[in-house]
Structure 1
C-alpha cells in the first residue's frame, strides 16, 4: 500500500482534528484508564503522526504509542514532527501481514482515514486478529460516500458517484470497501461480541480552508479520468466552477466521515 503526500496530510490534519467525535474519544480514554498496567496503542497507517497529535493530550499520560506505517518517508517525517518522546516508538510494517502486527500488550489499535482503503477480506482477517487477542479498535475519519457543496453544480451527483466507484478499486489491500467500510466493521465486530459505537465526523470546510479545498478538488481529476464516464472537458468545467466557488461568501463543503470504536467486554 503506497503512502500519501506529506503536504496533503498536513493540509487535512486540522480539518481531521476538528471532525473527530469527542464522544468516542472520551469513550476511548475511559477504556484505557480502566486497563490494568500501562496501556499501549498501535496506530496503523500512521502517516506523519496526526493521530498521536490529535489524541495524546486527551488520553491517559502513561500510554505507550506504537506508530506503524509502510512508507519510510512518512515514518521519518512522523519522527521528525513528534520529536524524541519516551513513550513513542516507530515501526515499519506491511499491513498485508496482519499476523505480524506488533500487538503484544496493545489495548487498542487506532487508525485514521484508513479502512475505506481496505478490502472486505482484509477487514475480516483484521477483526479476527483483534478478536483473538481481545484488542479494541478506534477507527476515525472513514469516508462514508457523502459530499455536499453550498454552491451546487449539475455534475455534482455524477462526480460523487464516480469518485465513490473509484474508491472501491484496489489501493494495495484488495478491492477497497470505500464508503461501505464502517458498516462492514460494525457488522464484523458485532459478530464478535465487542461493544461497537459509531458517530459522524464530517469535514466542514469553508473559505478559511481554501488551500485544503483546492487540493481536495484537484484530487478528483485522476479518479474521474480513470472511471471515464465524464469527458475531460466536463471534468475541467466542473473543477473550474468548484475552485471559483471557494471564494464566494458563505461557500462551504461538507464531506461525510464516520468514527467507530469497538471494545471487548
Structure 2
C-alpha cells in the first residue's frame, strides 16, 4: 500500500526556479485549467475514489495551490500536502484556502526534502514541472513511487510546439532556440525540456506502471493577451541567451509578436500523464 514506509527519496541539484511569482502563476492559471485534459483528470478522480480510507495527494512545486483548485470540487474529499520551496507562495496558498483543514503546506527544497514527504501518499502530482528537470531526477522519483506504490499525475509538460495562426518568418528559428534553452540546467541537471513526457513514460513503464497520456495545449487568444505578452518576452529572452539567433532578429520578432498579441491566436503544446499500478 502507498505510504507503508517513509520516503528515503533525495533529489539532487539546487531547486532554484526563479520568476515563478504569484502574478505569473495567477496569469497562467485560467489557461492551465482550460488546457488540462478532463478525461485524464476523471481517471485520476476515479483512481483516488477507489482508495480505502483517507486519501493523501502530494503536490510538488505547488505554488499557490493551482492543482488543488483544478480538481475542485472533488479535491475537497482528499487530503493535500502542498510542497514548494517558496515560503511566500505557500503563505498565499494558506491564505486562499484558510478554511480547508485538508490542506497542509510543506516548505522544502526538492534536493533535500524531509523523509516524510511521501508518507501515506496515494498520489503525487506536479504541474508544469517535469520539463525543467533531468532524466536522473525523474528516474529517482519514479523509483521511489514504484517502491511505495504511489501513482503520478504530471500535467502541462511542454512538448516544444509553439505555433501562431499569424505566421512570422522567424517563428521556427526563435522557437528552436527557445527549445535549446529549455534543455539547459534549471537546477536539477540538464533539463529534459520537450523530451520530458516520452522519457517519463518510458521510466514509468519500465517500473511496471500503466501510463495514460493526453495532449493539453494552451490555446491562447485575445482574452489571454497579457499571458501571450509575458510568454513572448520569455521566449525572446531565452532565445537571445542561446546566441543561436541574432539579437536584432530576436528583437524584431518580439516586437512583431507583441503587436499581434491581441489579434493572433497561439497554441503551446503540453502533455498530461497519469501513471498507476
Query: What is the alpha-carbon distance in structure 2 between the residues aligned to residue 10 and residue 177 of structure 1?
Result: 25
> Residue 144 of structure 1 aligns with which residue?
159
Worse-superposed segment, 37-46 or 94-103: 94-103
Deviation of residue 222 (structure 1)?
2.3
> Residue 81 of structure 2 aligns with which residue?
66
| Partner SS state of residue 111, structure 1 | strand
1:110–1:137 CA contact under 8 A, matched in 2:
yes
> Residue 260 of structure 1 aligns with which residue?
273
Query: What is the alpha-carbon distance in structure 1 between the residues aligned to residue 120 and residue 27 of structure 2?
Result: 33
1:202–1:254 CA contact under 8 A, matched in 2:
yes
> Residue 11 of structure 1 aligns with which residue?
27
Unaligned runs of 5+ in 2: 1-14
1:180-219 pair list within 5 angstroms: 180-219=195-234
Deviation of residue 123 (structure 1)?
0.4
Unaligned runs of 5+ in 1: none
Change in Cα spacing, 1:221 to 1:147, as seen in structure 2 (3 Å) is closer
Summarize deviations over 1:37-80 as a string: whole Å, max 9, x none: 01100000001111111113144x43110000011111112212
Summarize deviations over 1:10-50 as a string: whole Å, max 9, x none: 11000000000011110001110111101100000001111
TM-score normalized with structure 1 length:
0.95
Summarize deviations over 1:165-193 as a string: whole Å, max 9, x none: 10011111111000111101100111111
Matched, 1:176 2:181: no
Summarize deviations over 1:98-117 as a string: whole Å, max 9, x none: 67351111000010000000
Deviation of residue 231 (structure 1)?
2.1
> Residue 95 of structure 1 aligns with which residue?
110
| Partner SS state of residue 77, structure 2 | coil
Query: What is the alpha-carbon distance in structure 2 between the residues aligned to residue 239 and residue 17 of structure 1?
Result: 27
| Partner SS state of residue 220, structure 1 | helix
Deviation of residue 81 (structure 1)?
2.1
Dislocated runs of 4+, deviation >4 Å:
none
1:232-251 pair list within 5 angstroms: 232-248=247-263, 251=264
Deviation of residue 244 (structure 1)?
1.1
1:41–1:64 CA contact under 8 A, matched in 2:
yes
Q: Which of 146, 165, 168 does residue 153 from structure 1 map onto?
A: 168
Query: What is the alpha-carbon distance in structure 2 between the residues aligned to residue 179 and residue 129 of structure 1?
Result: 24
Worse-superposed segment, 138-147 or 93-102: 93-102
1:25–1:58 CA contact under 8 A, matched in 2:
no
Deviation of residue 89 (structure 1)?
0.2
1:138–1:260 CA contact under 8 A, matched in 2:
yes
1:98–1:126 CA contact under 8 A, matched in 2:
no
Deviation of residue 135 (structure 1)?
0.2
2:58–2:124 CA contact under 8 A, matched in 1:
yes
TM-score normalized with structure 2 length:
0.91
Query: What is the alpha-carbon distance in structure 2 between the residues aligned to residue 46 and residue 69 of structure 1?
Result: 6
